Amino acid sequence: MSSGVLVIGHGSKLKFNRDLVASVAAKMEKMKEFGPVAAAFMQLNEPDIKTGMVSLVEQGVDTIYVQPCFLASGIHITEDIPNEIGLKKGETETTMNVNGKSIVLRYCEPIGDDDRIAQILADRVRARAKKG
């Protein structure tokens, strides 16, 4: 079994937002812990979610960890993305046919309430405080 990760961002008209999600995916791939890692977007940017899954399958992946790049859980996390990947309400795992291959999809939690977020924000405040 070969796994990969699909990092999903919302999508935006602002290039910076697209680039940020792509950068996060690239940094995760450099960790060499999860197999191939690809970025995909719900709307406004390419690749879309299905194209991102196809890209991973073409790299030999048969298990995809779907990781939303969202801070908090909202309708996109609880309904939109799960619907897009074929999850029924409350499910976190399903099987989907992608280009004739049966793929396991495992849905991950958003970033959420994590002490590391508070530390990052504190670092930003410290950096700004040094500037006066």
7-50: pLDDT as tens digits: 999 999 999 999 999 999 999 999 999 999 999 999 999 999 99
What per-residue confidence (pLDDT) applies to 58? 97
**Domains of the chain with CATH codes:** 3-131 (3.40.50.1400)
51-88: pLDDT as tens digits: 999 999 999 999 999 999 999 999 999 999 999 999 99
pTM: 0.94
Q: Is 43 helix (H, G, I), strand (E, B) or coil?
A: coil
Which one of the listed residues 4, 7, 10, 22 is annotated catalytic?
A: 10
- Rounded to whole angstroms, the Cα distance separating 104 from 106 reads 7
Q: Which structure tokens are listed for 84?
A: 């897009």
Q: Which structure tokens are listed for 60?
A: 């030999």
Active site residue 10: yes
CB 34 within 8 A of CB 4: yes
Whether pLDDT at 1 is above 90:
no
- Name the CA dihedral angle for 99, 30, 106, 56, rounded to a multiple of 10 degrees: 0
